[in-house]
A = this chain, B = another copy of it.
Amino acid sequence: MKTQQTQTKIVNGVDVDQLFKTIDTIKENPEIAKFNFRASNKWIGGTANKTTVSEYYGACKTHMRSKPHVFIKDEPPVLLGKDQGANPVEYLLAGLAGCVTTSLVAHAAARGVKIDSIESTLEGDIDLHGLLQLDDTNPGYQGINISFKIESDASEETLQELIELAKKSSPVANTVSRPTPVNVRLEK
């Protein structure tokens, strides 16, 4: 019995026992589910910025990362930068890619569906008329398309259900697809 427990505990690299334990704990105390994510940003100059992620709040306390995660963002020369890093709209794609994939993997694990590999490509159109305020064009992505290539013994129907569930449950996908308020404030 012990061998079987060890075999079934980890699915897709996700500790399913811990996942179900987390769900039970949240059902007992919904406060545990409340998270607050944070980042600080410093303008380097021109189109370059440095963002640092070092702490978050969740499960009723503030957690420090073992080390800060630091990102340099810049624009390519066509967009007046020096290509010192990916640009902000590409960071959004990176976040969306990871979020939908991890959501897919976790929901598959909870259902006992084994996934061998997932690759995806993302793309979206942006018209600079909006950024430059030349007219009333939406400055943001007009839409973002994600195409998945998944290796698994699961049926195509199951995989199709999983990508829809991943989109439905993903925090980044929902932040993008719903009208999420962005509030700016000037410190005095």
Residues in chain A within 8 A of chain B (CB atoms): 12-15, 18-19, 22-23, 26-27, 30, 32-43, 45-49, 51, 53, 56, 58-59, 63, 65-66, 69, 71, 73, 75-76, 78-80, 83, 85-103, 105-107, 115, 117-134, 138-150, 156, 159-160, 163-188
Contact = CB atoms under 8 A, between A and B. Distances in A.
A98 B117 CA distance: 32
Contact of A180 (B105, B144, B184, B186): B144
A148 B183 contact: no
Number of copies: 2
A181 B79 CA distance: 25
Nearest to A51: B94
Kindly list the 8 A-B residue pairs having the minimum CB-CB distance in the complex, ordered from nearest.
Answer: A13-B46, A140-B174, A91-B95, A88-B99, A41-B97, A140-B175, A73-B98, A13-B45
A146 B177 contact: no
A96 B90 CA distance: 11
Contact of A186 (B26, B139, B150): B150
Given A90-B37, A139-B171, A181 B144 contact: yes
Contacts of A181: 143-144, 177
Most buried by B among A63, A98, A102: A98
Which of A99, A102, A142 is packed against the most chain B CB atoms within 10 Å?
A102
A188 B179 CA distance: 32
Contacts of A99: 88-89
Contacts of A39: 90, 93-94, 97, 121-123
A46 B32 CA distance: 22
A40 B173 contact: no
Nearest to A61: B78
Contacts of A94: 39, 41, 51, 53, 71, 73, 88, 91, 95
